Structure 1
């Protein structure tokens, strides 16, 4: 009889351990989101990881697709109707502009949500341009 009790306790202990490990694994659900899009002069990407639908860590990267960086004198980038904006008076230092994302209280990105990018800029001759594009799941 004593041997049966030991087997029963070992079986219950293993079952509790398996259930505990399963619940712990589910408590930290991570979703990686990668969206891309482009226009004639610009290309954008969002690469972020959302944990438990609450925290988010990632980055928007906007790339200027042409070689003539000196042609961009002033620019304004607007992401999602003003959620994120950047305005620079001056030229581009490189082909890429990065927007880091770190949130600990609620993610603003959803896998099903397209991201709208609007870029306005002025060239060396004072001509104004505007292009927009949508970042979508690739």
Structure 2
């Protein structure tokens, strides 16, 4: 996350970071979510460290925190719903690949069986999957 912050504020010393650039980074281009709170927490630690070492005089973080929306309760599919989803993958028809039904079935089983998020699943590489040890390594969560 600090890498993204560095890219957002540009090439400047930590003590020169403005409150405006911090707010822009925190808000991003999406609606207010729990990501805002995670970003704030990481930056809070960064600026505490910078102040303790004399790299910055003050923290440019906002002192008034917004009301974040309540956490969304995940929906757990019933066994019947999962069965119907998996059956529906067999009916998928595309003109460009005969493997699409198997791909969707695999994705549904992966997401349901592991609980990982769609972005985490899409970032998986062959190196992340150890079929012998039956381990999937999730990176960049």
What's the TM-score bracket when you normalise by the shorter of the two chains? under 0.3
> TM-score with structure 1 length normalisation?
0.20
Structure with more helix by fraction = 2
Query: Computing the radius of gyration over CA atoms, which structure comes out larger, 1 or 2?
Result: 1
Q: Which has the higher strand share?
A: 1
Give the structure, 1 or 2, with the largest relative contact order (CA under 8 Å, sep 6 or more): 1
